[in-house]
Structure 1
Amino acid sequence: MKKLLFLLVVSTSLFSGELEELYLKGGISAVQEKIEKNLQSVEYWSDSLKNKELKYGYHDDKSRLIIVADKTAKNISVNQYEDGKLKEVKNSEIITGLMGEKLLEGDLKTPVGVYDITRRFTPPTTYYGPVAFSLSYPNLYDKLRKRTGYGIWIHGYPMEGDVRENELETKGCIAMKNDILESFEDIVQNNSAIVIISEDGKPKSSSLDIAVIFAQLFAWKDAWTKSDLDRYMSFYHNDFRRFDGMKIAEFTQMKKRVFSKNESKIIEFKNFNITPYPNIDGKNIYRVNFDEKYRAASYNFDGDKTLYVEVADNKMKILVEE
């Protein structure tokens, strides 16, 4: 009954008229098939997203702050949703570490990519200012590319001694003046926040890219549900790595064994966050987060799913899966 009510609500809001007729002719399974087909359509998602604020990606979690730092411009902005629109609530100057992509511990470079604020804390010395926020560097994408290092923070200026601003640089962190940091703290507090760090201008996602990602996610889910191995693997990049480092060939064989069981599966995705991922290589990469519900005879899962994907030629290819 719950499934029927859900599909009828969707039909009323998205495809009113057509699906009611389909239900009368083919029942609820025909309605579900039609909805699943529409969700795999780029045209459907392009139409659905046309009035959305997509400058920094698509975010179902409207309470999450989006912080954008530009290493070249030495600028940071804090953005939040207000009445469905993205509003800049803070903009200030910053200093960073060296330019270029962070590769190794001790190279003094500020990483380029997408990270989360993991905690607020008082720094161990006054050199880092009154408060600091740690970032989730290295993320899984960094780790699987053998990027090393740790302790990347957003912090303040030294609170003691003669501070010569034009001589300041960090060891890879992002730093701002202490009075600005305190107002930054007032905004961020304990809110969840995505931090996008770029080196060549602020990243802006494409509405077409977002539509392609949504359509391909649901096509990937459809192939997964039906245990269609060839179609399922077509969504993976040749350079794919799983969270444990498994490469594409081994991953394919593992999925072949799993799919050969031909188990009945229920897979549901919801609560999406799709964020453009800056990179020095000029690739069109996005970090994709969503809640996944998976039900099968041999395995159940409820939790967060993270993908790093590349979009090219209106196709999504999964680079990393966690």
Structure 2
Amino acid sequence: MYNHGMSRLRKYCCIAFVSAALLPWNATAVNHEALTARLFMQSKNTNAVERMLVQTLQSIKEGHLQQALDYVDQLLAISPNFALAHLIHGDLLSAKARILHGFGDAHVADVSRIQDFKEEAEIRIRNYFDRNRGLTQPNLLVELSEKQSHVLFVDTARSRVYVYEKGNDNELKYMADYYVTIGKNGIGKKDQGDKRTPIGVYFASRKLNRPLPDLYGDAAYPLNYPNEIDSYERKTGSGIWIHGTPRDTYSRPPRASDGCVVLSNPDMQALQGILQAGNTPVVIGVDFQWVTPESARQQDRAKADLKQAIERWRKDWMAQNTEAYLSHYTPDFFYSDGDLSKWASYKRQIQASKPKVNINLSDVSMFTYPNAKRNMVVVDFEQEYISAALRNVMKKRQYWVQENGEWKILYEGSA
């Protein structure tokens, strides 16, 4: 009975995980604790959790049942509220006494819950082995401002948030990645209560200090959904946060939130050093194209072209060359008070006397808007406007799009 049960357990494990097109079980594990220790001193257990999960399932596949039990016992010692590990632990114990017919066979009361566990295990293990591919950077145009030190990329297809630090020459340096939960109904939020996670470029504000229900775990950081594009497209809803899990739960299934991005509490604690600064860029996309840092440099040409377009816009504005200035805007341009026609009328009126002005831009950041219908980049900067009668400094946000190979402004307003 023991051998037959172990055989069935090995079979169920292969069906549950290997069928999901995972890389070979003997792939070399990646230990990147050394890369993250400086920044994430509180996240030492994060990599160990997934490593031990993989070791447990690999031992089952190889027929080493006692070794698998040892690994899962270590895993539960680190994360005693990890429900997926408890399920595997129960299956391993049950395999000693009876035949198992499938994943979670020792816990058949809630079939939908078992499916949640399978999906979490599959996506965690797939990501674990994906690290070996050396494709460590999203193929996006990204530039952090002088005041921004990190950026978060949430790849909803992988249920993963990737943390990057600004390195030398403003290049991105990979620091760590963590499992996340997204909306119950997936991505592409449009309506209030649709339980979907939005896709776009957002900025996380500082930690909410008011008391919150236990559902939100140790911390919650609101995102600026709906952003300017969301509002223009008449998307509704609010309250999209990055937050933790209930204290009796280590992690939730890949799709289980009301639209928020949810991490385990230890992982939230690891990110607090970044998020507490406020205004942290969070790029949420689906199935990013991941490339080597060398391949990512192909974005340098597009970045240089966009910077030149911004500089031409600034010079045409400063020269009070109204028609040249307006040529930088798309026909479907919009702002808080109207469209291009209203914007052009206002600008022609105030620039008619050709007032002498000086305009300086600083603290510029750029982020490709993921999965957009056309190539679009969110550009933030600090703008200083000086005239004979006024000196004004403000944070400005623009959305630039490519039209016929040229960069044009789709939206402009305060940030």
Q: Is the contact between residue 181 and residue 252 of structure 2 (CA under 8 Å) also seen in structure 1? A: no
Unaligned 5+ segments in structure 1 are 1-52
**Taking structure 1 as reference, are residues 313 and 261 closer, same or farther at Cα in structure 2, changes over 3 Å only?**
same
Matches within 5 A, 1:255-270: 255-270=347-362
Which residue in the other structure is 1:103 paired with?
A: 190
Distance in 2 (CA, whole Å) between partners of 1:164 and 1:118 is: 23
**Taking structure 1 as reference, are residues 207 and 54 closer, same or farther at Cα in structure 2, changes over 3 Å only?**
farther
How many angstroms does 1:277 deviate by?
1.1
**Taking structure 1 as reference, are residues 54 and 202 closer, same or farther at Cα in structure 2, changes over 3 Å only?**
closer
Matched letter for residue 145 of structure 1: E
Matches within 5 A, 1:141-152: 141-152=229-240
| Residue of 147, 153, 163 corresponding to 1:68 | 153
User: Would you say 1:185 and 2:277 are equivalent positions?
Assistant: no
For residues 139-179 of structure 1, what are the alpha-carbon distances to aligned partners after superposition, in whole Å with 9 as ceiling and x for unaligned? 2232232222111111122224x788448511110012222
Which residue in the other structure is 1:11 paired with?
A: none
| Residue of 255, 264, 278 corresponding to 2:370 | 278
User: Would you say 1:82 and 2:178 are equivalent positions?
Assistant: no
Matches within 5 A, 1:136-285: 136-160=224-248, 165-166=252-253, 169-190=256-277, 192-201=279-288, 206-242=299-335, 244-279=336-371, 281-285=372-376
Q: Is the contact between residue 223 and residue 242 of structure 2 (CA under 8 Å) also seen in structure 1? A: yes
| Residue of 88, 93, 117 corresponding to 2:204 | 117
Distance in 1 (CA, whole Å) between partners of 2:327 and 2:307 is: 16
Q: How many residues align?
A: 267
Structure ID, larger Rg? 2
Which residue in the other structure is 1:302 paired with?
A: 393
Relative to the length of structure 2, the TM-score reads: 0.59
Distance in 1 (CA, whole Å) between partners of 2:255 and 2:285 is: 20
| SS of 1:197 mapped into structure 2 | strand
How many angstroms does 1:202 deviate by?
5.1
Q: Is the contact between residue 310 and residue 316 of structure 1 (CA under 8 Å) also seen in structure 2? A: yes
Distance in 2 (CA, whole Å) between partners of 1:171 and 1:114 is: 19
Q: Is the contact between residue 206 and residue 278 of structure 2 (CA under 8 Å) also seen in structure 1? A: no
Matched letter for residue 234 of structure 2: K
Structure with the greater relative contact order (CA < 8 A, sep ≥ 6): 1 or 2?
A: 1
**Taking structure 1 as reference, are residues 236 and 321 closer, same or farther at Cα in structure 2, changes over 3 Å only?**
same
RMSD: 2.5
Matches within 5 A, 1:1-80: 56-61=141-146, 63-80=148-165
Which residue in the other structure is 2:130 paired with?
A: none
Q: Is the contact between residue 64 and residue 192 of structure 1 (CA under 8 Å) also seen in structure 2? A: no
Richer in helix (by share) = 2
| SS of 2:363 mapped into structure 1 | strand
Q: Is the contact between residue 90 and residue 184 of structure 1 (CA under 8 Å) also seen in structure 2? A: no
Which residue in the other structure is 1:129 paired with?
A: 217
Matched letter for residue 361 of structure 2: F
Matched letter for residue 355 of structure 2: E
